[in-house]
Structure 1
């Protein structure tokens, strides 16, 4: 296995992020990892429109992710941010009905280059996101992984990661959300 490094998504790493997304047709039908942002309320955006939205959010400091690098090549990411930055989540009505408090941060999306899947890149991205959150002051972190119940699922459907991945990172199961997803939490101490 290569020696991976993690860097925050920002103007300095935009080109590497854009190259990774571009190698995969903008990721998930051209989303460019914008669906969870409020700007994505502008439904019907083209792939180019989503790319422009994401680049604008990154340049404004309103889009965060832990980017995993193999040398100079970005090979995966874990998107994170406060609820105001990432308000769109699936099964929102059910989520809100069981909400006791909003988290300080949400982990909403993973993506791993097809040539690097099933090599631990998602776990590295998750650890990287938690480290970046700790550097930013820490707090209650929430994620919405899929509970695969031990079944093998195509990695292309695991945009939220798996319950097992989060359990291994010290997250606690809070409740179900939707048919196969969960709400999991962890408190991250400030670095």
Structure 2
């Protein structure tokens, strides 16, 4: 690989009021994320009565109140994508809920619920950088049991829309282990993150 082929180092930053404009630019350039979700689908039920504009306003309000946590991945001033994490109280919705609850023995301390990378920006390590940043932030916030719900892609090609909960390899590279399946290709994965001083 030549020097011209290498991407500059990716930088992670937390979503806050200062980084909101970069987050919003990426979301707006990608149809509000998954057709207008604005990354609130694990906070609240999407469907009847919800609009992309309302989801955007809800996300911004949560940012201002500190009740949503996204690690944004930047290349310079451009946000390429993100990973969302939070407590089960902040992120009560999970995919395949019935199967998830059948095997549930205790709620985790933290959930990593979704990933997004903008169109044309994939295959640059955005998901890996975002998850590493989320785990570092979780450690800074006291650590604990962290749960994710990635899609297993080992033997098949998967459309990007199916990878909104993250690809399995990204989680396994960060030390997560498969706990139980909750759909034909989606798993609950867990890892304990030790706390670090802020």
TM-score, scaled relative to structure 2: 0.92
Paired position in structure 1 for 2:128: 123
Is the contact made by 2:132 and 2:174 (CA closer than 8 Å) also made in structure 1? yes
1:150 CA displacement:
2.4
Q: Does 1:26 align with 2:32?
A: yes
Paired position in structure 2 for 1:56: 61
Is the contact made by 2:151 and 2:162 (CA closer than 8 Å) also made in structure 1? no
Structure 2, unaligned runs of 5 or more: 1-6
1:2 CA displacement:
1.5
Paired position in structure 1 for 2:13: 7
Q: Does 1:177 align with 2:182?
A: yes
Paired position in structure 1 for 2:80: 75
Q: Does 1:45 align with 2:67?
A: no
* Matches of 1:151 and 1:179, distance apart in 2: 12
Paired position in structure 1 for 2:107: 102
Is the contact made by 1:117 and 1:155 (CA closer than 8 Å) also made in structure 2? no
Paired position in structure 2 for 1:167: 172
Q: List per-residue Cα deviations over 1:41-96 (Å, max 9, x = no partner).
A: 67431111110011111111001011000101111100000000000111111111
* Matches of 2:79 and 2:46, distance apart in 1: 27
- What secondary structure is seen at the aligned counterpart in 2 of 1:84? coil
Is the contact made by 2:70 and 2:82 (CA closer than 8 Å) also made in structure 1? yes
1:116 CA displacement:
1.4
Structure 1, unaligned runs of 5 or more: none
* Matches of 2:103 and 2:138, distance apart in 1: 25
1:112 CA displacement:
0.5
Q: List per-residue Cα deviations over 1:95-130 (Å, max 9, x = no partner).
A: 111011110100000000112101111100010110
Count matched residues.
190
1:155 CA displacement:
2.2
Paired position in structure 2 for 1:189: 194
Larger Rg: 2
* Matches of 2:146 and 2:49, distance apart in 1: 30
* Matches of 1:37 and 1:96, distance apart in 2: 17
TM-score, scaled relative to structure 1: 0.95
* Matches of 1:42 and 1:119, distance apart in 2: 32
1:8 CA displacement:
0.7
* Matches of 1:66 and 1:17, distance apart in 2: 10
Q: Does 1:16 align with 2:22?
A: yes
